Amino acid sequence: MFAGAAAVATTVQSPGQLIAAQGVLGIGAALVMSATLSTITSTFPPERRFRAVGTWAGVSGASAMLGLLASGLAVVAGFLRLGTHPP
C-alpha cells in the first residue's frame, strides 16, 4: 500500500490527487508502524519486551526526524519538485 501510494504520488495531475495520495501514504505508514510494534511485542519475552519497545520507539522517532529533515532539504534543493508537485 505504501509503495503503491508513493508511486502514484509521483504521477499526480492535480493538487487533489496529491492530497489523496498523501493520505493513503499516511494510512500505509500507520499500518507499517503498528505491524512492527505488534511483531516486537509478540516476539520478545515479557522480561525483554520493555527494552525492545523502547529501542523501537527511539529508532522510530529518530528515523522520523531524519526523514523530515532529508525531505525538507531535498525540496529546498529542488530534487522532489517533480515528484510531489503537480505540473
Residue 32 contacts residue 2 (beta carbons within 8 Å):
yes
Domain assignment of residue 87, yes or no: no
3 state SS of 4? helix
Q: What is the span of the domain harbouring residue 9?
A: 1-43
pTM of the predicted protein model? 0.64
| 61 and 75 belong to one structural domain | yes
pLDDT in tens, 2-52: 788 888 888 888 888 888 888 998 898 888 888 999 999 999 999 999 999
Which pLDDT belongs to residue 43? 94
pLDDT in tens, 56-83: 999 999 998 998 898 878 777 776 555 5
Which pLDDT belongs to residue 65? 93
Domain assignment of residue 52, yes or no: yes
For residue 26, give the amino acid letter.
Answer: G
Which pLDDT belongs to residue 11? 83
| 73 and 50 belong to one structural domain | yes
- How many folded domains does the chain comprise? 2
| 70 and 32 belong to one structural domain | no
| 58 and 69 belong to one structural domain | yes
> What is the 3-state secondary structure of 12-38?
CCCHHHHHHHHHHHHHHHHHHHHHHHH
Give which of 42, 73, 40, 31 is closest to 58, Cα–Cα.
Answer: 40
What is the enclosing helix (H) or strand (E) of 49?
Answer: helix 46-77
